[in-house]
Amino acid sequence: MMIPHDELAMYRLKRARETLEDARLLAGSGRWNPCVNRLYYACFYAVSAILVQEGLSSAKHAGVRRLFNQHFVKTGRVTKERDRLFNDLFERRQEADYMDFVNFGESQVRPWVSEAEAFVESIAGLVGSGRE
């Protein structure tokens, strides 16, 4: 069964918002490393939404980041600052998930929560209404 691009994009935006809520819950519990993971994935799901709406996809995170940069950042549809956040969260997530003795703290992570929220909503605006 083939899912229409718009329907899949809206589903991925919903996942992005749910994942942001997970990040908020983790932040509220002082669980900073898993919070970083959820922040990255919230942005990843949003980017996946806008890519699928454009008929683009990649099976790898690097490919998603490359397509996003090529089709949205380089064209000026998304700011370089937003792209920088997405790439920084990817790197921080890699550290938090795979490196020993990496412990993010509140002062590092708390600002990323609001930045990721703004990122997801800016992408949602590009997808369309972004609302259910």
Res 132 pLDDT > 50 = no
Domains of the chain, first to last: 5-127 (1.20.120.330)
Which pLDDT value is given to residue 3?
76
Res 44 pLDDT > 90 = yes
- Cβ atoms 122, 82 nearer than 8 A: yes
Phi, psi of 4 (to 5 degrees): -60, 145
Res 131 pLDDT > 50 = no
Residues 66-100: pLDDT tens digits?
A: 999 999 999 999 999 999 999 999 999 999 999 99
Which pLDDT value is given to residue 128?
76
Contacts of 110 (CB under 8 A, 6+ apart): 27
Torsion of CA 18, 91, 28, 31, to 10 degrees: 120
The structure's pTM equals 0.94
